[in-house]
Amino acid sequence: MFAWTKEEKVDMVWILDHFKKIMNGTNQTETFAMDCARSIISAVELTHRTAHIALCSFHVCRAICKKTRDPIIKQYLCQLVREQTVVKFHQVRRIISVRSRRIAAYLNKNWMSRKGTWAAAFNGNVVTLGNNTNHRVESAHRQLKRKLSNGDALSKCMWKTFTWQKQLGKRRSLQSSLHCSRKRRYVAEDCLMPLLSKLTTYAGSIVLKDYKKRGLMYIENSQSPFVFFVDGPLCPVVHISNGTCTCRLFKTCRIPCKHMVFTHLQMPEFTGMLCSSLYHEVVDLVLKLCCRWTWTACGGVDVNIPAISSPDYTETSRLYRILRSKIHTLSTLFGQTTVQDILRQLIDQVDELIRMRRLPTDSEHNTQ
């Protein structure tokens, strides 16, 4: 919420009041670590009167050093912030007063009354929100503010998070329905469940999605062991005994295509087998050359079967890299809120999807 608002006292009070309502008095915040912004400090003092305020030493040094150009005095000012004992703190303070009365008067007027919030000698430690590089917490806040400056960027971000969580949710046991896209639900027929239960969730969704697109596809002729289809401008051929098809989906990805599924559902000579114990043999025949997509193949895949890249895998890998790079930035903003937990679950689900989609290479088998 901090990244989506202005750093003004009214906004900070509103955020902190909502934070207290979320906590519901269960865990009282004892310490706030922040920079030197007066609006944030006054908002915390107004909403959390008993909380301790710890200022970032990096911001304190930068704010104090703006008042002088003398590099020696700047070193003493930074040393004043980081001194661990009260005796050395007062020694450095006297040195600064001797070298520059103007800086000493500035410290007495603006900083010494709150020395318990920024001096290590009085609060026991030095709080820092980062270093001098661009990877500080403030840089993350600035980048988030720039990215979320568009009007509907927040709603789009949340919408994509929840839709991808639904789309990539993995279940070991396939039920009678599967979500194959963001908008449609594809219902599997009961006679397909023995086949789909042996496939991974990703492969099962591809099979159902392809079978849903059969449209005006029909069988033109059948001469055992071949079945000839008319599928728009294409004329694929299914070889029943070998469990193969000449369509593009089967040849490129080795996934049971709609022609193979339609054959085993509609051909008269297989009607009796679908309702008998021999149907498991038909399922094994369909998966004869599609074993890479079964659950048993996820643990150990034949090394001789090469991995197949596809646009789906490329897109999934791209989202995986983006999530991995943004999770630290988002966790800085959200902390341990529900949105962060959802993003971490989403990354774990993408990990599982990539593990099922990309088969081990020779080098990975050797390492295993």
The top-scoring range by mean pLDDT among 15-29, 275-289, 294-308 is 15-29
**What pLDDT, on a 0 to 100 scale, did the predictor assign at position 7?**
64
Whether 305 is in a domain gets the answer: no
Element (H, E) at 46: helix 38-47
Out of 299, 330, 356, a domain closes at 299
**What pLDDT, on a 0 to 100 scale, did the predictor assign at position 153?**
56
Under the banding of pLDDT at 50, 70 and 90, the label for residue 262 is confident
For the cut 50, the answer to whether the pLDDT of residue 63 exceeds it is yes
Whether 177 is in a domain gets the answer: yes
Q: Classify residue 261 as exposed, middle or buried by CB count within 10 Å of its CB (0-12, 13-18, 19+).
A: buried
Rounded to whole angstroms, how far apart are CA atoms 339 and 345? 10
Whether 110 is in a domain gets the answer: yes
Rounded to whole angstroms, how far apart are CA atoms 226 and 242? 10
Q: Are residues 164 and 236 in the same domain?
A: yes
Q: Are residues 245 and 322 in the same domain?
A: no
Task: Give the count of beta carbons closer than 10 Å to the beta carbon of residue 359.
Answer: 19
Whether 295 is in a domain gets the answer: yes
Whether 316 is in a domain gets the answer: yes
Task: Give the count of beta carbons closer than 10 Å to the beta carbon of residue 17.
Answer: 13
Out of 299, 321, 355, a domain closes at 299
**What pLDDT, on a 0 to 100 scale, did the predictor assign at position 67?**
86
Q: Are residues 118 and 187 in the same domain?
A: no
Q: Are residues 107 and 194 in the same domain?
A: no
Q: Are residues 241 and 263 in the same domain?
A: yes
Q: Are residues 139 and 167 in the same domain?
A: no
Q: Are residues 211 and 129 in the same domain?
A: no
Out of 147, 179, 203, a domain closes at 147
Please name the residues in contact with 56: beta carbons below 8 A apart, sequence gap of 6 or more.
33, 34, 35, 36, 127, 128, 129
Q: Are residues 13 and 136 in the same domain?
A: yes
State pTM to two decimals. 0.36
Q: Are residues 194 and 290 in the same domain?
A: yes
Element (H, E) at 238: strand 237-239
Q: Are residues 142 and 157 in the same domain?
A: no
Range of the domain at 272: 153-299
343: which 2 tokens?
């993003």
Whether 267 is in a domain gets the answer: yes
Least confident piece of the model among 67-81, 196-210, 257-271, 326-340: 326-340
The top-scoring range by mean pLDDT among 10-14, 29-33, 231-235 is 231-235
Whether 306 is in a domain gets the answer: no
Q: Are residues 143 and 167 in the same domain?
A: no
What confidence tens digit (pLDDT) does each residue in 99-124 have?
Answer: 888 999 999 888 888 888 888 888 76
Least confident piece of the model among 59-73, 189-203, 205-219, 319-333: 319-333
For the cut 60, the answer to whether the pLDDT of residue 53 exceeds it is yes
Whether 304 is in a domain gets the answer: no
Under the banding of pLDDT at 50, 70 and 90, the label for residue 158 is low
Question: Letter for the amino acid at 32?
Answer: F
Domain count, the chain: 3
Q: Are residues 131 and 165 in the same domain?
A: no
The HSE-up count of residue 7 (CA atoms within 13 Å, CB side) is: 13
